Amino acid sequence: MTENSDLPASPSDLVPVAIEEEMRSSYLAYAMSVIVSRALPDVRDGLKPVHRRILYAMRESGFTADKPYRKSARAVGDVMGKYHPHGDSSIYDAMVRMAQHWSMRVKLIDGQGNFGSVDGDSPAAMRYTEARLAKSASFLLDDIDRDTVDFQPNYDESENEPTVLPASFPNLLVNGATGIAVGMATNIPTHNPGEVIDATLAMISNPDITLEELMEIIPGPDFPTGGTILGRAGIRSAFATGRGSVVVRAKADFEEIRKDRKAIIITEIPYQVNKATLQEKIAELVRDKTSDRHIEGISDIRDESDRSGMRVVIELKRDATPEVVLNQLYRFTQLQSSFGVNMLALNGGQPQLMGLRDVLSAFIAFREEVIMRRARFDLNKARDRGHILVGLVIAVANIDEVIRIIRAAPDAATAREQLMAAEWNAADVEPLLALIHDEGNVVVNGKVRLTEAQARGILELRLQRLTGLEREKIQNELSEVAVKINELLEIIGSHIRRMEVMREELLLARAEIATPRATEISDYAGDQDDESLIEPGLMVVTITRDGFIKRTPLEVFRAQNRGGRGRTAAGRRGDDIVVRSFNAHTHQWVLFFSSGGKAYREKVWRLPEASPTAKGRALVNLLPDLGGDEITAVLPLPQDEELWDALHLVFATASGGVRRNRLSDFQNIRSSGLIAMKLDEGDRLIGVATCREGQDVFLATRKARCIRFQITDETLRVFAGRGSTGVRGIRLADGDEVISLCVLNHVDATVEERQLYLRAANAKRRAENAADEADAEETGVDAEEVVLPDGSALTPERFTELEAAEEILLTVSDGGFGRRSSAYDYRVSGRGGQGIANMTFSSSKRGFEVVATLPVLSGVDVMLVTDAGRLIRVPVDQVRVMARQASGVTLLRLDGTEAVTSVFPVLEDDSSDGDDDAGADGESTGNEG
């Protein structure tokens, strides 16, 4: 090219370059510049260039921890003007982060003023805030002026800056780092400073220490915002390979803030989570009821954080389950988040993915080099000082001759040359030269000459140093220098000695920066679902006429004798009454069938839990798509879902219609519901039960009629669709309706066998209850004695066989009376008939309608609920077994116009796991009232 740059280049000056090669080389140069000079930290001091320059510039400007605060703008200006030719905002942002206690495990900048908050608030402008180096920063900067690290020219070569700081603790692990380079990124978590230093000391003592042994010292990251790390697999992967995922969960407690009101209290959140954004996200999920991430049960969110610490209060609704709400928060918000560990750092100027041992080994090697370079620097300084002291000793020993030379010299330069040219007696200094390993003076024939440095030192000697005391000080200082030189030579020549020095300095740093661990580590190895948070147990589920539902632990209700007063079962709204109750396990599925013929599905634990006196929660809130319909039938399904494929569902309507479907038709029900059965206008579902081929359907009506027929393809086929109305199950009289559906086991026995069995069984029961005969209040009569067609009586074996297969039905009237009857007393007939009598009402007793007829097992209890909200739990064994037409005995004494509205059995389960199958084979007996 010509010297005049304005002239165009001649063809001979142009060099052809392939564009692919130029782009490749230019991109690589740019990428390495970003990687090395901007985005990645150095494994030795754990700092990126901007952080290193900030700390060094503040030290050079005197903004140390023992000095007053200075304006942040001044520090930023020094950094930008001398070392970092980029925007002031990037420098100030880096400075602010080093001053935030929620960002750094050990703060390196001591800030005064508004430096932002964990809510994501921006810091005040740099002209308003003040800063200085924190005390901990001195452990990164000490000895930087003792040739411990290399320096390089700054961007305009007007200053020199360190390529690395002589850090005395592994800052990369302690404070972590985050950065995005070109084609690579780093994300290193913070760790507890005390644990990191202890692990470094352990590796110094045993360089072959295993990762498992190190993890006993450093169990995992330690974030400044606390929280809980779930599981150790991700930690071990990160420590072993440099990559891993750590799941961090907020710390939360439950607190009762007022009567019947609980709140979730958040005291710690995952690292790098914005608290304000977190609260906004929670509120958004609470408001958005259409989202599949909708969180139900939260009534209010408020931030009560102050100087004493973080406190976010999430107030729950009265019927919410705290464990479930908290688990939803963990699942759908940043109360639980994953920290992707990517321990990428510069090692020897090259990016390298490093595990825990790699980082500690690199730091120990670097720190040993710092100690070696510092020792050499100090040795040179000590030798220089010792060399000057040797000259002073010679001058003091020959003071008269020295004074003569100086007085006779015309100027200082001549005096210096004459002092250097003179030969002095080496007898006094030769041992000193050996003591301080001084190679500057050469002894020849017992004589020694002064060096220029010694001559200058003698000329600068003050007269007061010639006193006896001062001469003694020179000798003492020379001895001290000799001791120091020997120590430094030992450090330089011994790896073991350098490790001892490193250990001592690490202990000093630990005493200053070590703090207790903030983040707990849980051995919990996986995510929990909501159901796993719910303790298994039996619940009583109650539904009112106005559509309120609740569940109450079964143990709340203790058994009473028949004829007792009961206890309050539910708080009522106006004239609301309990119309349906059943017991189920917390982990059971429950099918809800609406008056409009739709089916909904929900787990028992998702139903609102409330006390016996609470009214519960509206079903329209639990099932938003219910609309104006009401739930008319409820079916708890077997817990063992493998049984579902072998089971069918039988439906019964108030008008006497029945239908059979496969249970699998209702296995997948969306939240908006599923069409279950088409109903005629004015009709409604009164019961749904699981059944098998060959069992019997039993329907009972309000006017004391009942029918029993077998389930076969001829009598009640399986319907392929869910949109049909079904077939007639019983023909009803005017004003009558079906109130109970249950499924009974079919027993092959003739009418005569059943009658003979009933006669023998009644006689046996009378004998067993002879003492209570007077209180039986029985109005029915025993069946007449019959014999089998061949003239033989019922054999004991056949009696035992029928007794083992016998089922007992309990019938209860609205007047509080009830009786048990054998299922053999109800003959099997064809479907669609008018049925037979189920109960006889006595004019002397209250009640003119049947509330429910249901099968009960010996040893269990039944619960009766009244329209006044009272409930009584009665052992069925206290209810006599009578003929099916008997009016029964008093089960519950009623007040005024009070009437029984609901009856259901309590099926206790004494198994160790607490599971409750509704029936011996896991089948439900359907709706009991």
Tokens standing for 546? Answer: 């106005």
Distance of CA 461 to the CA centre of its chain: 73
| Confidence band, pLDDT 50/70/90 cuts, at residue 929 | very low
Between 915 and 327, where is the model more confident? 327
Which candidate, 662, 631, 619, 632, places its Cα nearest to that of 738?
632
Position 921 scores a pLDDT of 35
Dist. CA 450–CA 397, nearest whole Å: 13
Position 164 scores a pLDDT of 96
Given a cut of 90, is residue 679 above it in pLDDT?
no
Given a cut of 50, is residue 745 above it in pLDDT?
yes
Once rounded to an integer, what is the mean pLDDT over residues 90-101?
95
| Confidence band, pLDDT 50/70/90 cuts, at residue 805 | confident
Given a cut of 90, is residue 128 above it in pLDDT?
yes
Given a cut of 50, is residue 776 above it in pLDDT?
no
| Confidence band, pLDDT 50/70/90 cuts, at residue 641 | confident
Given a cut of 70, is residue 926 above it in pLDDT?
no
| Confidence band, pLDDT 50/70/90 cuts, at residue 468 | low
CB 49 within 8 A of CB 196: no
All domains of the chain, ordered by start, with CATH?
Answer: 47-166 (3.90.199.10), 251-334 (3.30.1360.40), 370-511 (1.10.268.10), 534-745+807-906 (2.120.10.90)
| Confidence band, pLDDT 50/70/90 cuts, at residue 585 | confident
Position 445 scores a pLDDT of 74
Position 790 scores a pLDDT of 47
Q: What's at 287, amino acid-wise?
A: R
Tens of pLDDT, residue by residue over 691-740, are: 888 899 999 999 999 999 999 988 888 887 776 778 999 999 988 999 99
Once rounded to an integer, what is the mean pLDDT over residues 172-197?
93
Tens of pLDDT, residue by residue over 231-254, are: 999 999 999 999 999 999 999 999
Once rounded to an integer, what is the mean pLDDT over residues 887-912?
74
Tokens standing for 333? Answer: 């918000």
Position 591 scores a pLDDT of 85
592: left (phi over 0), alpha (psi -120 to 50) or beta: beta
| Confidence band, pLDDT 50/70/90 cuts, at residue 523 | confident
Tokens standing for 432? Answer: 């000193």
Which candidate, 198, 145, 149, 142, places its Cα nearest to that of 170?
198
Q: Which of 27, 30, 128, 155 is catalytic?
A: 128
| Confidence band, pLDDT 50/70/90 cuts, at residue 318 | confident
What is the reported pTM?
0.65
Question: Which residue's structure tokens are 């703008």?
Answer: 73
Given a cut of 90, is residue 89 above it in pLDDT?
yes
**Weakest mean pLDDT among 101-115, 124-138, 567-581, 775-789:** 775-789
Given a cut of 70, is residue 524 above it in pLDDT?
no
Dist. CA 177–CA 448, nearest whole Å: 59
Once rounded to an integer, what is the mean pLDDT over residues 107-126?
95
Can 56 be counted among the known catalytic residues? no
Given a cut of 60, is residue 864 above it in pLDDT?
yes
Residues of the chain with pLDDT > 70, as a percent, come to: 88
Given a cut of 80, is residue 758 above it in pLDDT?
yes
Position 532 scores a pLDDT of 61
Which candidate, 527, 569, 566, places its Cα nearest to that of 548?
569
- Select, from the ranges 348-357, 414-423, 639-648, the one with the highest average predicted confidence (pLDDT): 348-357
